[in-house]
Amino acid sequence: MSLREKTRRILRAYGVIPRKRLGQSFLVNESIMQKMASYASLSKQETVLEIGAGLGFLTEILAKKAGQVVAVEIDSRLAKVLERRLRQYSNVNLLQGDILKLEVPDFDKVVSTPPYSISSPLLFWLFEKRFSQAVLAFQEEFARRLAAAAGSKDYGRLTVATWYNAEVELLDLIPRKMFWPPPKVDSMIVRLTPRKPPFHVKDERFFFQVVRTIFTQRNKKLRNAIMPFLNSFAQSKMEALKIADSLPFHNRRPRELAPEEICVVANELFNVVS
C-alpha cells in the first residue's frame, strides 16, 4: 500500500478531514522523509524535534535514528492518532499544542515539515533556541527568500535575519504532488546550521529594529526609508533629515544593501542616538 493510500485510510478511519486553516498537507513520500533524516545526520545520542508530526510517518523514521524524539502536533484529533500509532516507540515524547507557545524540552536538531502558515514565526522562534542543525521543508518561495542575494526580488528582512543567525543550504525541491492533499505550491528542503553572527552589531535589538523599518519601504532610498525610525527620537524633522543624510549608503535602496552594510548603517545610527 502506498503512503498516500495509507494516509487516506488512516484519516478516514479516525474521521479526520484535513484543515486548510492549519495548513494540513501530509508528506506521502518516504524517500523524501528518509533523505531529510539523512541530511540531519542523526545519532542515538541526540534529541530531535519534529514540528507538526501529522500522522507520524516521519516521526517513526526519526525514532529509529535518534535517541529521543520530541514530536509536536497542534491538532488534538491528530494527537490521538499519534498516541496509538507511536505507542511502540518508547523514545518518542508527544506534545499536543502550539509550538510557538509550548514549553519544549531541550533538543539537538530539528527535522520537520511544518505548516506553511507558521514558517516565519517558527524561524524566529528557532533562532532563539540552542540547536546544532535544522532540516525543514518550507514553501519553495519562502525557502528562496532565506538565501536570496542582495538586490534580488526575494531579498528582504527574512534574508538578513537568517544570514545573521545561520548558514543556509537549499537542498531538494519537493513537488506538490508528494503531499496529500496537494498544496498549491512546491516545497523545498532547507538545512540551517546556527553560527556566530558574521558581523558585529553594537546592539542586536536596535539592529533588527532598523532592519524591520527599512524593509517596509525597501524600494525607497535609505534616507527616506529610515525616516519613520528617526522621527521617533529626533527632536525635529530637520534634525531627522540631517541624521538620515549623514548615514552611510543613504542614497542606496535597502534592497540593494548587503547584510553587513545594513550593520554599518545600524551601528552608525546607534552611535548617534545612544
Cell numbers describing residue 3: 503512503
Q: What is the mean pLDDT of residues 25-35?
A: 96
The alpha-carbon radius of gyration of the chain (Å, integer) is 22
The pLDDT of residue 233? 78
The pLDDT of residue 22? 65
The pLDDT of residue 251? 97
Q: Which of 19-28, 102-111, 149-158, 243-252 has the lowest mean pLDDT?
A: 19-28
The pLDDT of residue 16? 87
The pLDDT of residue 203? 96
Query: Using CA atoms, how far apart are residues 234 and 173, in angstroms rounded to an integer?
Result: 48
Q: What is the mean pLDDT of residues 235-243?
A: 88
Per residue in 194-204, pLDDT (tens digit) is 999 999 999 99
Q: Which domains are delineated in the chain? A: 3-194 (3.40.50.150), 204-273 (1.10.8.100)
Per residue in 256-265, pLDDT (tens digit) is 999 999 999 9
Q: What is the mean pLDDT of residues 242-257?
A: 95
Q: What is the mean pLDDT of residues 15-21?
A: 80
CB 204 within 8 Å of CB 160: no
Per residue in 139-194, pLDDT (tens digit) is 999 999 999 999 999 999 999 999 999 999 999 999 999 999 999 999 999 999 99
Q: Which of 38-47, 132-141, 241-250 has the lowest mean pLDDT?
A: 241-250
